[in-house]
């Protein structure tokens, strides 16, 4: 089931890191997702004329921005309110007036300098429920951050969103934390804590980048009277029924991988400091909405059954093998990991059902997904997803493997996963499906 895309062209490496220098996409760093070039190729090869493009797990909006640029209607779902905010702000880029934004950048610097000279206490307060083992910001940095947030409060709505996004994009940079790739203290990886930093200039530089990119976006975007890109801050599973059945021409997405990466937890600083979250209870709710669940939430359950509609023998045998691994390790043994995997593939069923409802007959779905290795048991997530989709109204066109290896030592070597890779490697696939 391996192959190339239409016209004989293979998919380019979908790694998100290529977005770091791409206009609009470089506005915010993101640990997950895929590159604009992958989406660009997909839209070029799988659409003809104005189309409706859907991303059920939109992240910070790579699919939506590229679809909007190309003149298509874009619809995205995203449970993380910070990521949804980032995507929504990007889609507003064509409305940004570059000159006005440049003038606010000068006012921002003056405001920060006056605040520093006066020594007045900022009006904004740190988020009360946000807790970290080490202070997230030093006292000097925190005061500057709060002053910056004071400035943002009095900005017009779109300008305020741009400054909030510029702060969000840089906030970890001048904190005592970093992504390695999960959020952790800098000192644990041998990096010094940040005693002081020019927060104002760091945010201003990001705003200037946004201003330049907005001007480019306005000229590059295919001219239409109205913006047609939209991002819905809700679960695709709950919201897809509101999309007209059979109306979507192309689905491009990348659901969370079977790697136990805490996507929401790793954006805790952004969620709390931007006011999207104010309590651990709200964070817990985001975890409950996540695709599948986290291993920590499934490990102590006695037995999570696969959805009865998953009839594929290989999927069931693989999870049965996993469940029997390392019973002496209790919660850390195979049963907990089999529960975790079962929850994941049950949500693959929900995804396939929703995608089948939205896509027109003959439409394509491209799903970027990585395999996994749990307790030493290889889990070919791409093939399993394809088989599940096949039983819900899709034809399996091909499984492309543009990346034969990917970084993921944590899932191979961690003692929590208690199993050696045994020569297996992590890779990344594009599952190409066609709606029957």
Shared-domain flag, residues 238 and 212: no
Cα distances (angstroms) measured from residue 89 to each of 68, 158, 163, 165: 13, 8, 10, 8
Shared-domain flag, residues 317 and 380: yes
Asked, for residue 24, whether it belongs to a domain, the answer is yes
Shared-domain flag, residues 299 and 435: yes
What is the model's pLDDT at position 228? 79
Shared-domain flag, residues 171 and 192: yes
Asked, for residue 275, whether it belongs to a domain, the answer is no
Shared-domain flag, residues 377 and 308: yes
3-state secondary structure 173-210: CCCCEEECCCEEEHHHHCCCCCCCCCHHHHHHHHHHHH
CA pair distance 10, 47, nearest whole angstrom: 16
Shared-domain flag, residues 246 and 306: no
Stretch 112-120: mean pLDDT = 89
Percent of the chain with pLDDT over 70: 91
Do residues 181 and 16 make contact, with C-beta atoms less than 8 angstroms apart?
Answer: no
What is the model's pLDDT at position 404? 82
Residue bearing the bigger pLDDT, 8 or 221: 221
Shared-domain flag, residues 380 and 249: no
Q: Is the model's pLDDT at 203 over the cut of 90? A: yes
Confidence (pTM): 0.93
Shared-domain flag, residues 160 and 185: yes
What is the model's pLDDT at position 359? 98
Please give the tally of structural domains in the chain.
Answer: 3
Asked, for residue 273, whether it belongs to a domain, the answer is no
Shared-domain flag, residues 75 and 9: yes
Give tens-digit pLDDT for 70-101: 999 999 999 999 999 999 999 999 999 999 99
Q: Is the model's pLDDT at 405 over the cut of 80? A: no
Shared-domain flag, residues 300 and 420: yes
The mean of the pLDDT values for the chain is: 91
Give tens-digit pLDDT for 284-342: 999 899 999 999 999 999 999 999 999 999 999 999 999 999 999 999 999 999 999 99
Asked, for residue 240, whether it belongs to a domain, the answer is yes
Shared-domain flag, residues 102 and 215: yes
Asked, for residue 179, whether it belongs to a domain, the answer is yes
Q: Is the model's pLDDT at 283 over the cut of 70? A: yes
Final residue of a structural domain among 171, 200, 220: 220
Asked, for residue 174, whether it belongs to a domain, the answer is yes
Shared-domain flag, residues 103 and 194: yes
With b for 16 or more beta-carbon neighbours within 10 A and e for fewer, the 190-210 pattern comes to: eeeebeebebbebbbebbeeb
Which candidate, 358, 288, 352, 286, places its Cα nearest to that of 75?
A: 358
Do residues 40 and 47 make contact, with C-beta atoms less than 8 angstroms apart?
Answer: no
Phi, psi of 177 (to 5 degrees): -125, 165
Q: Is the model's pLDDT at 150 over the cut of 80? A: yes
Stretch 381-395: mean pLDDT = 98
Find the range with the poorest average confidence among 119-128, 244-253, 340-349: 119-128
Structural domain of 162? 95-220
């Amino acid at each position: 089931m391996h192959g190339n895309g239409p016209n004989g062209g293979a998919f380019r490496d979908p790694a998100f890191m290529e977005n770091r220098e791409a206009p609009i996409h470089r506005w915010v760093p993101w640990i997950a997702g895929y590159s604009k070039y992958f989406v660009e190729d997909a839209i070029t090869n799988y659409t003809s004329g104005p189309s409706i493009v859907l991303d059920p797990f939109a992240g910070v909006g790579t699919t939506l921005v590229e679809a909007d640029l190309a003149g298509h209607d874009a619809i995205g779902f995203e449970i993380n309110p910070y990521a949804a905010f980032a995507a929504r702000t990007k889609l507003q880029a064509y409305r940004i007036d570059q000159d006005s934004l440049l003038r606010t950048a000068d006012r921002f610097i003056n405001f920060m300098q006056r605040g520093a000279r006066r020594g007045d206490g900022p009006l904004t307060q740190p988020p009360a429920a946000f807790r970290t083992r080490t202070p997230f910001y030093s006292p000097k940095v925190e005061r500057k951050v709060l002053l910056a947030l004071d400035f943002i409060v009095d900005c017009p709505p779109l300008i305020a969103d741009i400054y909030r996004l510029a702060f969000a994009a840089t906030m970890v940079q001048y904190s005592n934390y970093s992504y390695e790739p999960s959020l952790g203290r800098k000192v644990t990886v041998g990096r010094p804590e940040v005693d002081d930093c020019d927060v104002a200039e760091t945010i201003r530089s990001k705003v200037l980048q946004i201003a330049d990119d907005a001007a480019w976006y306005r000229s590059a975007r295919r001219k239409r009277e109205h913006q047609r890109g939209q991002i819905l801050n809700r679960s695709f599973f709950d919201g897809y029924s509101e999309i007209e059945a059979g109306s979507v021409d192309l689905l491009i997405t990348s659901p969370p991988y079977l790697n136990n990466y805490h996507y929401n937890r790793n954006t805790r600083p952004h969620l709390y400091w931007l006011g999207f979250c104010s309590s651990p209870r709200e964070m817990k709710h985001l975890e409950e909405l996540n695709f599948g669940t986290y291993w920590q939430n499934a490990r102590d359950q006695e037995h999570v059954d696969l959805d009865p509609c998953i009839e594929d023998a290989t999927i069931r045998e693989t999870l049965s093998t996993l469940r029997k691994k390392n019973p002496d390790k209790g919660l850390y043994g195979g049963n907990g990991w089999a529960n975790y995997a079962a929850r994941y593939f049950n949500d693959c069923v929900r995804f396939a059902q929703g995608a089948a409802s939205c896509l027109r007959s003959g439409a394509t779905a491209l799903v970027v997904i990585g395999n996994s290795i749990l307790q030493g048991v290889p889990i070919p997530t791409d093939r399993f997803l394809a088989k599940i989709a096949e039983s819900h109204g899709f034809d399996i066109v091909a499984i492309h493997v543009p990346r034969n290896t990917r970084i993921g030592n944590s899932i191979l070597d961690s003692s929590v996963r208690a199993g050696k890779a045994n020569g297996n490697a992590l890779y990344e696939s594009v599952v190409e499906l066609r709606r029957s």
